[in-house]
Structure 1
Amino acid sequence: MARVVVDVMPKPEILDPQGKAVLGALPRLGFSGVADVRQGKRFELTVDGEITDEVLAEVDKMAETLLSNPVIEDYSVRVEVDA
């Protein structure tokens, strides 16, 4: 079995109120040096068999149609290798 990860983030031009809330909370909790925070989503898909170009294309289609909202979010698909 192999794992494919889909990371979904708001597009840069989209406001991220959750990220701003985290950014505002960090100094109150004693953390400094963080200039910005963007909050996104991570999906881990465990697939049967080998990761082929066809499997990655299918995951890309899943990301585009279900896992993200392409109007306001960008996504990336990558294979995660266990160490």
Structure 2
Amino acid sequence: MNFDVEVKISLKKGMLNPEASTIEKALALLNYEVSNTQTIDIIKFTIDATNEDEAYKEVDEMCQKLLCNPVIHDYEITISEE
């Protein structure tokens, strides 16, 4: 079976996020006041697996090994049947 996968990766709370800080400063220069800005990376792909649980386990392993750094990143996995 094929499953559509979406992985959202963000920095953990307390980690410095220079990209978000730059966005907040640029928006302030344009007279937009925002706070608590976060940036996230979204990775989408399709995976072939026997069932949704197997797909989740494989994607979690991908996240741990390659897609993010679990020490500084949080990630959220969403899986749906294609």
For the aligned pair, the TM-score class normalised by the smaller chain equals: 0.7 to 0.9
Give 1:31-42 correspondences, 5 Å limit: 31-32=32-33, 34-42=34-42
CA-atom RMSD, angstroms? 2.1
More strand by share: 2
Unaligned runs of 5+ in 1: none
Structure 2 partner of 1:76: 76
Aligned length in residues: 81
Give the secondary structure class of the aligned counterpart of 2:75: strand
Unaligned runs of 5+ in 2: none
Instruction: Give the fraction of aligned pairs with identical amino acids, expressed as a percent.
Output: 31
- The answer as to whether partners of 2:48 and 2:55 remain within 8 angstroms in 1 is no
TM-score between the two structures when normalised by the length of structure 1: 0.82
Return the offset for 1:67. Answer: 0.4
**Runs of 4+, deviation exceeding 3 Å:** 48-51
Alignment deviations for residues 50-71 of structure 1 (CA, whole Å, 9 cap, x no partner): 6510111110110111000111
